[in-house]
Structure 1
Amino acid sequence: MDHQSPSQKVPSLCSLRYGLCLLLHLCNATMFSQRWCLSLTMVAMVNSSALQGTPNASASEPLDSTKNPVYNWSPQTQGVILSAIMYGIPITLIPMGYISGVYPIKTVTGLGLLLSSLCSLLIPLAAEAGEALIIACRVVQGLSQGTVMVAQYTVWTKWAPPLEQSRLTSVSQSGIILGPCVSLFVTGFISQSLGWPVVFYIFGAGGCALSLLWFVLFYDDPAEHPWISLSEKEFITSSVMQNGMLSALPHLLSWVLGNLAGWLADFLLARQILSLIAIRKFFTTLGLLLPTLFTVSLLHPGASPLGIITCLTLASATAGFCMAGMMVNPLDIAPRYFGFLKGVTILIGITGGLISSTLTGIILNQDPESSWVEIFLLMAAINVTSLIFYLAFSKAAVQDWAKDQQHVRL
């Protein structure tokens, strides 16, 4: 009798994880509708001729000045207002890549959507108060939307089994494409029949409702969700814990290789087989070039699942050779300032990690299936460039600026 795999036992389309995927899809669609609707309402907000009716038009007409206030904004001011939301988004991309890994995704994503929706509700009032306030409102909206854009990627680290990560990410992210389509389609009808402020009220209220649903329905960990079925919980947790074991293997192997490299480096130096600078360059070359080779090997179209896992493991693990290379090199050139230099390099490394996570998310957002090719090639290019720079400029002797100063009293 054949045994069914877990993916066959657990329904997908009727499961909780796909329901949450649909919810996130709607959240993205609403959020981007809030962003794009101003591009159409701006026409009514500054075009006084659109509000001029016949002499006998009554005050109750849907396009009267009470429902559609008009502002005397120059084209330059309009451009600033429309683009103000883009000022806030880039500011959040890097820090939110870090914060989303530290704070609960339920809170970060929910508050981001709620704040964006509240800003949408406040835009008519802000416009009445002046262009400065509506610009500020749009900047804050950009900050909140940038938060959601980055933080939501972390949702699928626990909720998506490895074989479903692409489809769940694609479906949830496709709301970003649907949002502008819906917004541009209905904004004109709403503005003409009810007045342009109602556009912001509808999209803002819809976003607030979805954010409340998010707080009620979403849990960071599937194991903690009160409504998830036992079979789906076991399916997700067993898939993600198995993936966790494979993810831990490169770190374990890297620890082994790092320690081995340290012992081997001291052996080569003690036996005077290689000079100190040659040792540092040798292990740095291994630590940067081997991960590059294994990463590029992943692009082979005929790679088997076992081959892919092996290459991924070795690509991460062989970076441990750098422990006996560039990682300890600051101790050679400036022992007095070793702590300071390590602090600076750690800060640079953290910054690079934040940028890489954010950049990876942006690239994957374009095409979750094939964008990995670009990511792997970009990583290989960075590694090779860094290696060339290191081989050209690295030193192993104590530098003059780092030597102890001998003060002689005359």
Structure 2
Amino acid sequence: MTKMIQSDENAPLISQKSAGPEKVHKGWGYRHVLAFLAFFGFFNVYCMRVNLSVAMVDMVKHINDSNNSTSDECPDSNTVNSTKEHVGEFGWSRDLQGYVLGSFFYGYILTQIPGGYLAEKFGAKFLFGFGVLCTAVFTLLTPLAARWNVGVFIAVRVLEGLGEGVTFPAMHAMWGKWGPLYERSKLTGFSYTGAQMGTVISMPISAYLCDSGFLGGWPSVFYVFGALACVWFILWMMMAYNTPADHPHISVEEREYIESSVGRKEDLATPWGPILRCPAVWAINVAHFANNWGFYTMLTSLPGYMKNVLKFDLKTNALLSALPYLGCWLGQNCSSFTADYLRSNHYLSTQATRRLLTVFGLAVPGILMICIQFAGCNHTVIVALLVLCLTAGGFTMGGFQVNHIDLSPNFAGVLMGMSNTWATIPGFLGPEVVGWLTTKHDTRQQWQIVFYIAAAVYISGAIIYCIFARGTEQPWNNLEQSQGVSFKRAVDTEVSVNRNRGTDREKRLVTVSYD
């Protein structure tokens, strides 16, 4: 005998007005406090990640020679002396500087999946908090390590990456327990926009600290941001809790409102097999990879194109350097609120909403990347296109970047760890492809291939996600075979709880076999 539970994955969500006895908690709550704490956590994390790229200019002895470019297609608009020697402490070659800057990602990629798993098993509060603290401590030690030995310096950067690698999976696991159905996008999205704001703020502040001579110049960049992160850690440990049930001051109304959407914390074994076989999970992985390929192309390689081919150094203008990140922050916030608005007012289902925002956030930047080549040597147009690319890309925040929690609130941290592992690969592979294509012939024709590849990855990711994405909770979210809990029991229990609480959830299709 088989029992069918109704499904309509493409149908709009049920309206809250017709949801029955469910009580909606309006106004300020502790879930909003958590969102602000997380925002400043990611703010600090990205301040500590980005500051080295600015401080490196002051740390290293180098000669800027604008005549190194092999392209003479665009006129040189620089009025500064083309050869200017900078006296720094370290005589590191360009290759060695690249290893130092990239060493962070070697640690970062290793702790993504373990971070998500540990957050689910032992609680996200401590993992996220100590992940940021670990990064802060090693940031404070950076000047000492750099002056001691470059090998030690690289090791410290790897350890920073190890600490920071757990932050996104841990916070996804946290929102899997704290994010109500109709607030999931905006709370999660707002938390993660701290990363972009940290980049916007830290770049000019780092440049100012280097020039001011405060605490020795460039070392102050690491002391200031490391100390701020330590202060944040104290506040986080005092005010954050793993689940609403753990919070000693949360109101009964807010707790019931949250738990009616996401359920209560359960100690479940991770269903690795069903996760790895789920097409919707791989749709997120592909979209995350595609998004980061374009992101790294624009923000790590495109400045080289503008400097070497267009003879315009984007990094010399602090305002222009910050505009793309500011546009991304704006796009992320807009998409997060748009996603929850569409869903809560039952204009679109979760699946349709995630598809719409992801396709917009991937396809539009893909098209704009092609347009960059046709802008010729016009600096203004190219900077505008760069800002528009990152702004449109920010709309994926309301799309695939929250979709992990839709599929499985219980294992959202693991799913984020998986997708962020794939998304870290472009940090290594993207610049390698660009270098291979442009090392011998740094011309607009060669760069056109770079842009076409990025556009193809963007659009392919949008198509694959659109085909395989889903917006409903997957059956394996509550499947606990290792403890002898049958699929039938898990589904029946959930349906009973939802009926008693009047939970306004999406309708799902589950086939349960009876013995």
**TM-score, normalised relative to structure 2:** 0.45
| 2:122 counterpart of 1:122 | no
What corresponds to 1:95 in structure 2?
114
What corresponds to 1:199 in structure 2?
221
What corresponds to 1:27 in structure 2?
41
What corresponds to 1:377 in structure 2?
467
Q: Which residue identity does 1:232 align to in structure 2? A: E
Mapped partners of 1:39, 1:107: distance in 2? 29
| 2:246 counterpart of 1:224 | yes
In the TM superposition, residue 96 of structure 1 has moved relative to its aligned partner by: 2.0
Distance 1:149 1:242, change over 3 A: closer
Gaps of 5+ in 1: 51-67, 245-250, 252-287, 311-352, 366-370, 381-410
Mapped partners of 2:175, 2:413: distance in 1? 18
Mapped partners of 1:364, 1:11: distance in 2? 36
In the TM superposition, residue 11 of structure 1 has moved relative to its aligned partner by: 3.0
In the TM superposition, residue 372 of structure 1 has moved relative to its aligned partner by: 9.9
Mapped partners of 2:185, 2:119: distance in 1? 20
Contact 2:169 2:413 in 1 (8 A): no
What corresponds to 1:145 in structure 2?
164
Contact 1:113 1:207 in 2 (8 A): yes
Alignment of structure 1 residues 155-304 onto 2, 5 Å: 155-193=174-212, 194=214, 195-241=217-263
What corresponds to 2:382 in structure 1?
none
Q: 1:85 aligns with which of 90, 104, 109?
A: 104
In the TM superposition, residue 3 of structure 1 has moved relative to its aligned partner by: 10
Secondary structure, aligned partner of 1:216: helix
Mapped partners of 1:358, 1:375: distance in 2? 18
What corresponds to 1:108 in structure 2?
127
CA RMSD of aligned residues (A): 4.3
Mapped partners of 1:21, 1:374: distance in 2? 31
What corresponds to 1:392 in structure 2?
none
Mapped partners of 1:212, 1:79: distance in 2? 34
What corresponds to 2:399 in structure 1?
none
Mapped partners of 2:122, 2:211: distance in 1? 43
Mapped partners of 1:235, 1:99: distance in 2? 26
Contact 2:115 2:169 in 1 (8 A): yes
In the TM superposition, residue 47 of structure 1 has moved relative to its aligned partner by: 3.5
In the TM superposition, residue 97 of structure 1 has moved relative to its aligned partner by: 2.6
Contact 2:116 2:415 in 1 (8 A): no
Mapped partners of 1:88, 1:202: distance in 2? 23
Distance 1:37 1:101, change over 3 A: same
Q: Which residue identity does 1:114 align to in structure 2? A: L
| 2:417 counterpart of 1:358 | yes
Q: Which residue identity does 1:208 align to in structure 2? A: C
Mapped partners of 1:128, 1:143: distance in 2? 22
Gaps of 5+ in 2: 1-16, 65-86, 272-276, 284-341, 352-411, 425-460, 471-515
In the TM superposition, residue 361 of structure 1 has moved relative to its aligned partner by: 5.8
Distance 1:110 1:130, change over 3 A: same
Q: Give me the identity figure in percent.
A: 30
Q: Report the structure, 1 or 2, having the larger helix content.
A: 1
* Structure having greater relative contact order (Cα 8 Å, sep ≥ 6): 2
Contact 1:100 1:154 in 2 (8 A): yes
Distance 1:186 1:292, change over 3 A: closer
Q: Which residue identity does 1:107 align to in structure 2? A: F
In the TM superposition, residue 46 of structure 1 has moved relative to its aligned partner by: 1.3
Mapped partners of 2:134, 2:112: distance in 1? 17
In the TM superposition, residue 241 of structure 1 has moved relative to its aligned partner by: 2.8
In the TM superposition, residue 180 of structure 1 has moved relative to its aligned partner by: 1.4
Aligned residue pairs total: 264
Secondary structure, aligned partner of 2:183: helix
In the TM superposition, residue 95 of structure 1 has moved relative to its aligned partner by: 2.1
In the TM superposition, residue 359 of structure 1 has moved relative to its aligned partner by: 3.8
**TM-score, normalised relative to structure 1:** 0.55
Secondary structure, aligned partner of 1:11: coil
Secondary structure, aligned partner of 1:91: coil
Distance 1:243 1:218, change over 3 A: closer
Contact 2:55 2:207 in 1 (8 A): yes
Secondary structure, aligned partner of 1:212: helix
Could you report, residue by residue, the CA deviation over 1:141-173 in whole angstroms, capped at 9, with x for unpaired residues? 011111112211001111111111111111011
Distance 1:84 1:171, change over 3 A: same
Mapped partners of 1:105, 1:155: distance in 2? 6
Mapped partners of 2:468, 2:350: distance in 1? 20
Contact 2:60 2:90 in 1 (8 A): yes
Could you report, residue by residue, the CA deviation over 1:21-54 in whole angstroms, capped at 9, with x for unpaired residues? 011011111101101111111111114899xxxx
Contact 1:110 1:211 in 2 (8 A): yes
Contact 1:153 1:361 in 2 (8 A): no
Mapped partners of 1:132, 1:243: distance in 2? 43
In the TM superposition, residue 214 of structure 1 has moved relative to its aligned partner by: 1.2
Could you report, residue by residue, the CA deviation over 1:164-222 in whole angstroms, capped at 9, with x for unpaired residues? 11111110111121121111121111111111111111110111111121111111111
Contact 1:28 1:173 in 2 (8 A): yes
Secondary structure, aligned partner of 1:174: helix
Mapped partners of 1:364, 1:17: distance in 2? 28
| 2:30 counterpart of 1:16 | yes
In the TM superposition, residue 364 of structure 1 has moved relative to its aligned partner by: 11
Mapped partners of 1:100, 1:129: distance in 2? 35
Larger-Rg structure: 1
